[in-house]
Amino acid sequence: MPSHPDESAALAIQTPAINDRSLAAGLAYAMGSRVSGMSFDAATGLLLGKVRGGAEVPYSTTAKLVRKTGGWSCTVGVCSCPVRKDCKHVAALLFSAEDNPAIRLQLLAPAESTRLSRQAAPPELADLAFAYASKPEDAGAITSRKTVDDLGVTQVVFANGVKLNVKPVVS
């Protein structure tokens, strides 16, 4: 739970997929400052971070959040630990996000500030082709590529404005 008062005492993230035992352990991890390197992208709903568990190397942890009525919900959490999914490390990441002022502001921001517009395109854009070309040779060129080594994520930005986060999963 957040350690600071604000306009909303309720948690901004709901966690229906994570069991009570993992939530309790995750809270202890978050309170023990075991989470680092957090980032949140409200447009994609991806929350990334590292969580120090029992292993020497921190676990890479990702949570997929979707906006629901009244806040965000974690639909799935993926971790590099042996459990792999919806574990205490994911819970720790979520609790730490609640306590991070910058991320909490994004989570509590009104839906309108992160929602895509459903209005018709302006006349000057109405005749433009759809950004996802049916022919790969017409696809947007890569304008930037950044590797976040400690999270194992590659972030790619295309000329057409599309952003892609790639995290390979080894099974």
Helix (H, G, I), strand (E, B) or coil at 113: helix
pLDDT score at 115: 46
Supply the pLDDT for residue 166.
83
Hey, which of 15-19, 61-65, 71-75, 161-165 has the most confident mean pLDDT?
Answer: 61-65
The more confident residue out of 150 and 81 is: 81
Q: For residue 15, how many C-alpha atoms fall within 13 Å in the half-sphere facing its CB?
A: 28
- Prediction pTM value: 0.61
- pLDDT value, residue 21: 93
At residue 9, the pLDDT reads 46
Q: What is the DSSP secondary-structure string of 42-98?
A: TTTTEEEEEE--SSSSPEEEEEEEEEETTEEEEEEEEESSTT-BS-HHHHHHHHHHH
Cα pseudo-dihedral 48, 103, 31, 10, rounded to 10 = -120
Cα separation values, 44 from 64, 65, 115, 162, Å: 8, 8, 11, 11
Please state, in angstroms and rounded to a whole number, the distance separating the CA atoms of residues 169 and 36: 20
So what's the pLDDT on residue 4? 45
pLDDT digits (tens, 9 = 90+) for 15-57: 878 889 999 999 999 999 999 999 999 889 999 999 999 889 9
57-68 tens-digit pLDDT: 999 999 999 988
Q: Residues 93-143: pLDDT tens digits?
A: 999 998 899 998 888 887 654 444 445 555 555 555 555 555 555 566 788
Q: What pLDDT shows up at residue 96?
A: 94
Gap between the Cα atoms of 25 and 71, Å rounded: 23
Higher pLDDT, 118 or 13: 13
Spatial contact of 2 and 31, defined as CB atoms under 8 Å apart: no
pLDDT of 5 over the 50 cut = no
Find the largest Cα–Cα distance for the chain: 57
